[in-house]
Amino acid sequence: DPKIIQKPKYLVAVTGSEKILICEQYLGHNAMYWYRQSAKKPLEFMFSYSYQKLMDNQTASSRFQPQSSKKNHLDLQITALKPDDSATYFCASSPDWGVYEQYFGPGTRLTVL
């Protein structure tokens, strides 16, 4: 059974719209993360959460907003979508926030037209 679920697997959106990327982990971890991977840039760290609290935010744009309704959920809301937002978005988790190995989900591939 998959331990980290990301939904949807593929997502197509139009410029200016808003989408929510879903992430749930069933590893019992206390820390969760979002990353972005595109052809133009290497894997890019976006956010980290620990016990549902924001720990790091490396994303300059406020259009990207994480949402944590439960400790094992960390969704990513993206507003006013732009073509440059096209990328694969990976969710990850670790036992606790800090120097632990991270477990990655399968990713959501977002294409903005």
Does 106 bind other proteins (CB under 8 A)? Our answer is yes
Residue from 48, 72, 86, 93 in contact with other proteins (CB under 8 A): 48
Does 38 bind other proteins (CB under 8 A)? Our answer is no
Q: Minimum CB separation from other proteins for residue 60, in Å? A: 13
Phi-psi category of 28—alpha, beta or left, where left has phi over 0 and alpha has psi -120 to 50?
Answer: left
With CB under 8 A as the contact rule, which of the stretches 12-20, 21-29, 70-78, 102-110 interacts with other proteins?
A: 102-110
Q: For tokens 């331990």, name the residue.
A: 3
- Using alpha carbons, select from 71, 67, 65, 73 the residue that is nearest to residue 46: 65
Residue from 43, 54, 80, 113 in contact with other proteins (CB under 8 A): 43
Burial class (CB in 10 A: 0-12, 13-18, 19+), 23: buried
How far, in Å, CA of 19 to CA of 99, rounded? Answer: 31
Residues lying near other proteins in the complex (CB under 8 A)? 4, 42-45, 48, 56, 58, 90, 92, 98-99, 101-107
